[in-house]
Structure 1
Amino acid sequence: MGDYGRALQFGVFLTPDAGAVDRALHVAEVADAHRLDLIGVQDHPYQKRFLDAWSLIATLLARTEHVHVFPDVASLPLRPPAVLAQAAASLDRLSGGRVELGLGAGAFWTAITAMGGPARTPGQAAAALIEAIRIIRAMWSGSGPVRVDGEHYRVHGAQPGPEPAHPIGLWLGVLGPRLLGEVGRSADGWVPSSGYVPPNELADKHARIDRAAIEGGRDPADIQRIYNVFGTITGGASRGFLHGPVRQWIDQLTELVLEYGMDTFVFGTDGDDPDQIRVFADEVVPAVRSLVTDERS
């Protein structure tokens, strides 16, 4: 493991709180104005306090000009893959190519089934995600008709389209060995969160992705590594990983690039704090870019 040499990207992790719509829109405008690369939006349709992720993503795209927006990550069991592909491609065209697709196999199964979704074992959820990737790729291909006869999804003769405005990144938010292998075989990126995969666990998961990529004839460096990171930029002493002053953030994110293989950081703040996002964008991001450039050269 180590630095894959990819271009760096930075973004913000947005909470789709139905009780704080104005804050969500303001955070998106701050991210766009300060030229961050990404906004990630949680997708938990069963959470009564949350806005529908795709409705919010469409609104954020309409209120911004530069930033790319993606579900972080879409709940596959409640979003049929052919329709999900069409929604992502449609918004990509409407926004001038500013949509990416984070996709998860599912979690919180009691809540999913309460909304009419399927109850899946871990093995079934993995198999369904692999089938969904085939369908989504085929729906974006512009050539058809699409035919995938899977155990969980059967698409027989669907007409693909619309085609996306740009090659949408298909990023998987997965943790298990089988689906990490699928990242290496067929995905464009991997989206773990620091709360579930701390830095000391990244190497093993990168290795699983890389082995599968190499076995499939792919270069592991072609796979984007997106890290949802949660913490606080403070004016005082360090209180642990990503809880401390600007200098600590610069050093730790630089280390995550050069030593731990990550290249994209989506920053989640307590309460979606726009002041934290401004400091991140204005003080942390340019310094990390500069340090990484210097080390690479």
Structure 2
Amino acid sequence: MDFRIFTEPQQGASYDQLLAVAKATEDLGFDAFFRSDHYLAMGDGDGLPGPTDAWTTLAGLARETSRIRLGTLVTSATFRYPGPLAISVAQVDQMSGGRVELGLGAGWFEQEHLAYGIPFPSLGERFERLSESLEIITGLWQTPVGDRFDHDGTHFTVKDSPALPKPVQSPRPPIIVGGMGPKRTPALAARFADEFNIPFQPLDAVSAQYERVRAACVDAGRDPSAMTFSVALVLCCGATEVEIARRANAIGRDVDELRANGAAGTPAEVVETIERYRAVGASRVYLQVLDLADLDHLELVAKEVVPQIS
């Protein structure tokens, strides 16, 4: 089981805070540091000091870490044109020595688009743009040096592109696709993704969606075992009930609700929860850490949870 730390900086975080968490992630032996790609706080938070750009952040972290993998869960296809996004991710892959992964989704949070002047088309169009973006990004990365890349789509046209720069990883950085859509999402994952992720869903929903993705892989002529399956769970772990309650209160959540829906409770309870997801096929877990100042939280999980599973 791979253990990855997943942050939500739009809720309020500076680059220095993210750097501290990323360094702790590396020092404590976790597999990766990931962050969301959002521009607006959700819920009641004020989001101070304001949003940090995902790929600018990861570029900085690429130079200040040496081992952990880095990526987004997930970048919205509405935020960036696919050609410039392919350039940015390839450059960060170079800066990290080949440690970058790209999670890409259709986008869903309308208010952040309105707040920063980003068009927010219909769901159908957003999904079409996601599909074309994946075609273009992977096409640009995998075009041999010296050849040219073209794409004539409904929303994007690419003509005579030199398809540069190239990422370090060959044939390309891993692509992560996720979500609960019953038809188009599994088909898109089977076509483009190295990893399929489901965030914050109960076990039965995760199991059913994994089966849909496996079936889509078979329909696409792909071996389902080539797909990595992952989940994202809110983390709230404590050595005592007092510590668990303190950490739940710090993120504005109820302990019982977290125990029912996240990776919460004592280390033994968190192990049990993750093992249930592993039993339905998850081989990677993203632990959503919402209190970025609580680095002791990461240390507890590294010492008391990870060794019991991996």
Aligned equivalent of 1:62: 63
Aligned to 1:262: 282
Cα distance, 1:114 vs. partner? 4.6
The aligned counterpart of 2:245 is none
Q: Does 1:275 pair with 2:296?
A: yes
- The aligned counterpart of 1:22 is 16
In structure 1, the partner of 2:125 is: 124
Higher relative contact order (CA 8 A, sep 6+): 1
- Matches for 1:79-94 after TM superposition, within 5 Å: 79-94=80-95
Distance in 2, matches of 1:13 and 1:93, equals 22
> RMSD across aligned C-alpha pairs, in angstroms?
1.9
Aligned to 1:172: 177
In 1, the alpha carbon distance for the partners of 2:141 and 2:177 equals: 17
Structure 1 equivalent of residue 250 of structure 2? none
Deviation at 1:199, TM superposition (A): 1.5
Distance, in Å, in 1 between the alignment partners of 2:91 and 2:128 is: 26
TM-score between the two structures when normalised by the length of structure 1: 0.88
Query: Does residue 234 in structure 1 map to residue 234 in structure 2?
Result: no
State the shift of 1:58 in Å. 1.1
- The one-character-per-residue Cα deviations of 1:200-232 (angstroms, maximum 9, x if unpaired) are 201221122111100111111211122121031
- The residue number in structure 1 matching 2:140 is 139
Match of 1:191 in 2: 197
Percent identity, aligned pairs only, is: 27
The alpha-carbon deviation at position 73 of structure 1 amounts to: 0.5
The aligned amino acid for 1:271 is D
- Mean Cα displacement is larger for which, 55-64 or 137-146? 137-146
Deviations 1:70-125 (A, max 9, x none): 01110110111111111111111111111000111011224324533333222111
1:109 and 1:120 in contact (8 A); partners too:
no
Inter-partner Cα distance in structure 2 for 1:213 and 1:45: 33
3-state DSSP of counterpart to 2:9: coil
Report the alpha carbon displacement of residue 248 of structure 1 after superposing the two structures with TM.
1.1
- Give the match's secondary structure for 1:163: coil
Alignment of 1:250 with 2:282, yes or no, is no
Indicate if the aligned counterparts of 2:38 and 2:112 stay in contact, CA closer than 8 A.
Answer: no
SS state of the match for residue 226, structure 1? strand
Q: Any conservation in 1 of the 2:143–2:149 contact (CA below 8 Å)? A: no
Give the ranges of 4+ consecutive aligned residues of structure 1 lying more than 4 Å apart after TM superposition. none
2:204 paired residue number: 200
- 1:61 is paired with a residue whose SS is helix
Q: What code does the residue aligned with 1:170 have?
A: I
Distance in 2 between the 1:15 and 1:110 partners? 17
Q: CA deviation at 1:46?
A: 4.9
- Rounded Cα–Cα distance in structure 2 between residues aligned with 1:110 and 1:271: 24
Change (3 A) 1:243 1:182: same
Deviations 1:160-214 (A, max 9, x none): 12221113110013321212221122211112211xx221201221122111100
Is it true that 1:224 corresponds to 2:228 in the alignment? Answer: yes
SS of the residue corresponding to residue 151 of structure 2 reads strand
Q: TM-score when scaled to structure 2? A: 0.84
* Contact 2:105 2:178 survives alignment (8 Å): yes
Alpha-carbon spacing, 1:122–1:165, altered in 2? closer, same or farther (3 Å) = same
Q: Secondary structure at the match of 2:221?
A: coil
Q: Summarize the alignment of residues 23-62 of structure 1 with structure 2, pairs less than 5 Å apart.
A: 23-46=17-40, 49-62=50-63
In structure 2, relative to structure 1, the CA distance for the partners of 1:161 and 1:180 (3 Å cut) is same
CA contact 1:32–1:66 (8 Å) conserved in 2: yes
Alpha-carbon distance in 1 for matches of 2:202, 2:166: 37
Match in the other structure for 1:295: none
Unaligned runs of 5+ in 1: 1-7, 290-297
Give the structure 2 partner of residue 292 of structure 1: none
